[in-house]
Structure 1
Amino acid sequence: MTAPIPAWTDVAWIFEPDGSLRDLYVLDAGPEGWQAVLDGLRALDPPSVFEIDGEPAALPARIEDVFAIWGNASPSLRWNAGEVQVNLHFFRSDDIEFDIDPADVCEPEDWQALARFILWLAEKAGRPVILTPENTPDDIQLFCRKAQDGIEVNNVAEG
C-alpha cells in the first residue's frame, strides 16, 4: 500500500514564494535518528553533497564527527529531490532541520519528489516530520506522523 500524499492543488499555497524558505523538521530525532538519517543520506541516488565551509568534503561516518566540525567550520549537506534542493546545516539539536526554497516546488512533479523525501525521512528516522515557514516550527503546514500514514495538510495555517 502506498502512503497517501496530498494532491498538488491542496498544497500549492504552501509553496507560494514569499522571500523566505520552508523548513523540514524531523522531531525529537536524538542521536539514533540523526545517525539513521545520515546513513540514509549517504546512500541516496543521486548522491548528496557534503561540504565544510562551502568546500566539498567526505561525509563522516558518525554524526558525532559531523557535530565536532562545528568547533572550527560550518558543515552542510545538499541533495536534490527531483528539482527541489534540500539543505541540511547540521544544527546541534534533537530535531533535524532541513530547508528548501519554496520557488523550487512549482509543479506537481516537484511536490511529488519532495513528498517522497518527507516520507523517506519519517521512515529513516522513525520520527514525525513537519514542514513549516522558515524559523517558525510551531506553524505546522504539513505533517507526517509515520511514513506509512502519509502526509497531512494543516489547512488551519492556510492564509
Structure 2
Amino acid sequence: MSDLQWDEVKDFFDPGLVGALPDVFVPDASADDWQTVFDMVKARGWQWEFRLGGVMSPMPLATEALVRSADAELAELRVWPVPGVLVIFRLVVAEEIDFDIDLRELQGQAGVDILCGFLAEIGRELKKPVLMTPEGGNRAHPVLGYDPVLNRVVLLANPLFR
C-alpha cells in the first residue's frame, strides 16, 4: 500500500499546474549526506551517470564534487531508480540536496508509488525530511514529503487546484 493515493495527490502531479519538474530537496544537508546519497545509489544498483559540465565522468567523492569555483561547470548525478524514471541531482551547495524528477514520468498510482518509494529511501537513509514544492515554488511551503518521524511520505498541503 502506498503512502499516498492518486486521487488525493493528482493535482500535485499535474505538470500543467505545478510544472513538469517540481523542486525536491533535503534541507540542512552536508557533504556527508551527499556522500550517503552517492553510496546509496551504488549500493542499490541503480543505473547512474555523473556529469561535469554535461560530460560523463566517474563519480567522485561528494566533497570533491562540491568544492568548485563559482564559475565551474555544473556537476550533476543522473539516477534511474526504476527504468523510465530519471532523477537529476544538482550539486550546487553541500547544505541542500537538490534534485528534479519529471512528473510526466510519474502519472497514476504507479507514479505515486515510485515517487513515495524513492523519497522514503532517501529520507530513511539520511534520517531527514525530503520535501517537494511546485517548480520554482516557495520552499517554505512544500506540498508533500517524507517525514522521518512518521517514516512515510505525507501530504503537506491541500490540493487547491480543483
TM-score by length of 1: 0.86
1:155 Cα deviation after fit: 3.4
Give the count of matched residue pairs.
156
- 1:121-140 superposed matches below 5 A: 121-136=122-137, 137-140=139-142
Match of 1:7 among 2, 5, 8: 5
In 2, Cα distance between equivalents of 1:32 and 1:148: 24
Give the stretch that moved more between structures: 63-72 or 99-108.
63-72
Q: List alignment gaps of at least 5 residues for structure 1.
A: none
Query: CA deviation digits over 1:17-62, x for unaligned, max 9?
Result: 12442011112122332221121123232321111111211001x2
Which residue of 2 is the match for residue 42 of structure 1? 42
Cα 1:84–1:66 shift into 2, 3 Å: same
Over 4 Å off, 4+ runs:
none
Is it true that 1:99 corresponds to 2:111 in the alignment? no
- Richer in strand (by share): 2
CA contact (8 A) 1:129 1:143 kept: yes
1:70 Cα deviation after fit: 5.3
Give the stretch that moved more between structures: 70-79 or 45-54.
70-79
In 1, Cα distance between equivalents of 2:149 and 2:69: 31
1:69 Cα deviation after fit: 4.4
In 1, Cα distance between equivalents of 2:153 and 2:6: 12
Percent identity at matched positions?
A: 22
TM-score by length of 2: 0.84
Q: Secondary structure at the match of 2:93?
A: coil
Which residue of 2 is the match for residue 116 of structure 1? 117
CA contact (8 A) 2:52 2:75 kept: yes
Q: List alignment gaps of at least 5 residues for structure 2.
A: none
Cα 1:105–1:97 shift into 2, 3 Å: same
Alpha-carbon RMSD: 2.1
